[in-house]
Amino acid sequence: MGDMTVRDAQACADIAARPWYVAAYRGRDTINIQGFAKLRPGRRLTSLAWNGFRLFEEPVDMVNFGKAHSFMPWEVWKVKPLRVLGHEPKLRHEARQIRARQLEVVGCMPPGFEFGPNGWNVRRLVEQLARAQDKQRADRTLRSEYEIAMTFLEDQRGPGGWLHDARVSLAYDYLDSLASGPSNGPFGRWKHHGRKMPAHTLIDAAVAGLPIPAVITRHWGLDQNARSCTANG
């Protein structure tokens, strides 16, 4: 019994030392749907579900749970579990989920946090890609420079591992969500240019923190210094 107690104490200490997150939209948790439970720093919440709140160690994993996929872009909130009920089974990777009866809200993370250390740039790029237009004129020299730059960018990419790939996939999901409206709307251009636009390569580079050559940003009319603009304003 003593060994079990020691192991339990070590597990609790390990959980307490790790950051845990939930996804929200306008301050309301989209993973653990609970009426009138708006998130704000310092607030303590008790789950009304028998199996408690589902909390995530890695924000990118939240996309397939609750209604997170339907409400993008996310607000990622850091929370502290107070009464841990147990671990969720591991999936194909090592990121962990836990269940907790109660939690304390710590605070809202910066925009784009779910996309990793370069998340702000990733989010801004995705929002610009949704509005992008092919601005390249029929100039062989410019076309050649563009193709050389794309080849250079692709050569810089290396194997990023499951977490990198998951962040790229999540960013691509966000791009699709922005373009899900009418094709003549502000984000509808992606429907027209999606097949020829190297969106995956550009997003992959942004997640990895690679600079995108100016000839490429000019080609698609991307303003790398523009402020973020979302469908929600």
Task: List pLDDT tens digits, range 8-67.
Answer: 556 666 776 789 999 999 889 999 988 667 899 999 999 988 889 999 999 998 988 888
Q: Supply the mean pLDDT for the chain.
A: 80
Q: Which residue has the higher pLDDT, 221 or 169?
A: 169
Task: Write the pLDDT tens digit of every residue in 82-118.
Answer: 888 877 665 555 558 889 999 999 999 999 999 999 9
- What does the pLDDT read at residue 225? 54
Helix (H) or strand (E) holding 76: strand 75-81
Contacts 24+ apart (CB under 8 A), 175-182: 175/126, 175/129, 175/130, 175/199, 175/203, 177/69, 177/72, 178/72, 178/126, 178/127, 178/130, 178/230, 178/231, 179/130, 181/231
DSSP reduced 3-state for 113: helix
Where helices occur in 18-118 by DSSP H, the ranges are none
Token pair in block for residue 73: 């872009």
Lowest mean pLDDT among 13-17, 219-223, 227-231: 227-231
Tokens of 19: 């950051």
Average pLDDT over residues 191-204: 75
Quick check: helix, strand or coil at residue 135?
A: coil
pLDDT value at position 186? 45
- 86 forms beta bridges with 99
| Cα-based distances in Å from 185 to 56, 179, 220 | 34, 9, 18
Nearest-CA neighbor of 226 among 109, 131, 115? 131
Lowest mean pLDDT among 147-161, 179-193, 195-209: 179-193
Place 231 in a pLDDT band, splitting at 50, 70 and 90: very low
> What integer pLDDT is reported at residue 78 of this predicted model?
96
SS3 44: strand
Banded pLDDT at 227 (limits 50, 70, 90): very low
pLDDT-above-90 percentage for the chain: 40
Whole-model pTM: value is 0.81
